[in-house]
Amino acid sequence: MEKNWNQTDAGRQPDYSNKRERAATLAKIPGHPLHTFTMENERLRELLAEAEQKLREESTAPEEAGPVFEKIREISIHYAKKGDLIYPHLKVKYGIAGPSDLMWTDDDEIRDELSRLLRKESGDADWKERACKILKCMSDMIMKEEQVLFPICAVNFTEEEWMGIYQDSKDYDKCLGIEKEIWEQAEPLQVTAAGEEGEIVMPGGHMSVEQLTALLNTIPMEITFIDADNINRFFNEGPKAFKRPKMAIDREVFSCHPPKIEPLVRKIIDDFRNDRKDSVPIWMEKNGRTTLVTYMAVRDEKRRYLGTAEFVQDMEFLKQHFEK
């Protein structure tokens, strides 16, 4: 099977002669994705041994083995990282489809069976048999990762790609108690998507002005952005409970509110500017419909105040849903 996975998008035949040594070398680098994956597998081995010991005891009921299986279920985070960061990249960039087509399915089946086992009661006669089987599947998956998947990645992925995976991994919860370590070499890297000429490039991707405009107009809420100088800079388009004339763009926001509301608006923005609050939700009836207006401080990664966003949502659907 592995032989069929060793094709690259450029037709280059990579050197797999020392693939496991290369994977082992990367796994020794603190904070490197392979280091983290390996540490998670080592912790999983310990939990699998603990669970197997529990299941060898004849008197063990599902509720007694439940706590260790609850811990083991956190491996779903490990599998999610593989599914989001490893499998698609191998398949799309390098034409290596085996892990995506085979191992990904196994990951999903393991997660699903763990969930089913944790819902079962002591009266389920085959619970222990199925529990033993899923522990074996997870043990086999560790072997597949360490003997096949990680070495393939070690041979093919560039250092820059590993750094990108490291950065993206920060969005995932801690798995099995393994602390996230810093990969010093990758820390200065900020991965930015490459855009076509005329596109707007952002940390999360890139799109044309037409696409961005359509996206903002598709979001099911009214959006207003006021900059740090209290100037109206943007309204999305479409029907609105609170009318936003285009003539109001580039005007001071306070001029758009009646005198009795202006003090509240000033207070909200002042709280945001001085980092006293990050959001202010206001529920109200507007035109006979339940409406939520949320004001949110817009800040950069250093919490520097950039402006205020206002989101207006018609919540009538929610009210009707819970009244059924």
The alpha carbons of the chain give a radius of gyration, in whole angstroms, of 26
CA atoms within 13 A on the CB side of 272: 27
**Which residues in the chain come in under a pLDDT of 50?**
1-10, 122
Distance, in Å, from the CA atom of 127 to the CA atom of 138, rounded to the nearest integer, reads 17
| pLDDT value, residue 65 | 79
**Beta strand 232-235 with 305-314: parallel, antiparallel or unpaired?**
unpaired
| pLDDT value, residue 7 | 45
Domains of the chain: 2-169 (1.20.120.520), 206-323 (3.30.450.20)
Q: At what angle do helices 33-56 and 159-169 cross, to 10 degrees?
A: 60
The answer to whether residues 193 and 93 touch, using CB atoms and an 8 Å cutoff, is no
Burial track 141-180 (b if 16+ CB lie within 10 A, e otherwise): bbeebbebbbbbbbbbbeeebbbbbbbebeeeeebbebee
Helices assigned H by DSSP within 158-261: 159-169, 209-218
Distance, in Å, from the CA atom of 220 to the CA atom of 216, rounded to the nearest integer, reads 9
Q: Which amino acid is located at 174 in the chain?
A: K
The answer to whether residues 27 and 181 touch, using CB atoms and an 8 Å cutoff, is no
What pLDDT digit, counting tens, does each position of 72-95 carry? 999 999 999 999 999 989 998 899
| pLDDT value, residue 191 | 55
Q: Please list, in sequence order, all residues whose beta carbon lies within 8 angstroms of the beta carbon of residue 220, skipping any fewer than 6 positions away.
A: 313
Q: Which amino acid is located at 29 in the chain?
A: I
Distance, in Å, from the CA atom of 292 to the CA atom of 314, rounded to the nearest integer, reads 7
| pLDDT value, residue 124 | 66
Distance, in Å, from the CA atom of 53 to the CA atom of 74, rounded to the nearest integer, reads 19
Residue-wise DSSP of 212-227: HHHHHHHSSSEEEEEE
The answer to whether residues 232 and 249 touch, using CB atoms and an 8 Å cutoff, is yes
Helix (H) or strand (E) holding 264: helix 262-273
| pLDDT value, residue 306 | 98
Residue-wise DSSP of 28-71: TSTT-HHHHHHHHHHHHHHHHHHHHHHHHSTT--HHHHHHHHHH
Long-range pairs for 158-163: beta carbons < 8 A, 24 or more residues apart: 160/189, 161/89, 161/93, 162/26, 162/32, 162/33, 162/34, 162/186, 163/189, 163/191
Burial of residue 235 (number of CB atoms within 10 Å: 0-12, 13-18, 19+): buried
